[in-house]
Homo-oligomer: A and B are copies of this chain.
């Protein structure tokens, strides 16, 4: 398989991976079993992947990780909003 297509597919899948979790949290408004540390570490790590992608000029890495950062930022916001309950 062509590397770039594979990268786009892999990037597409991992960048949407946290979406079901975000939707579940927004729907059920429960974050008790979620690890805050996981969310924070993911945001830091994924941001570094974006930087790596920029340096290596690899668009699949940049796009997929940038999208995943956004999803995790939304999850972080939801976490603090629903943790109060």
Measured CB to CB, the residues of A under 8 A from B are 1, 3, 6-7, 9-21, 23-25, 28, 30-35, 37-38, 41-42, 44-46, 48-49, 51-52, 55-56, 60
Q: Are B21 and A38 in contact, CB atoms less than 8 angstroms apart?
A: yes
Asked if A20 and B37 sit within 8 Å, CB to CB, the answer is: yes
B55 touching A3 by the CB < 8 A rule?
Answer: yes
Q: Which residues of B contact A19 (CB under 8 A)?
A: 38
Which residue of the partner chain, among B11, B20, B35, B48, contacts A41 with CB atoms under 8 Å? B20
Pairwise interchain contact B17-A41, C-beta atoms closer than 8 A: yes
B48 touches A9 (CB 8 A): yes
- B33 near A34 (CB under 8 angstroms)? yes
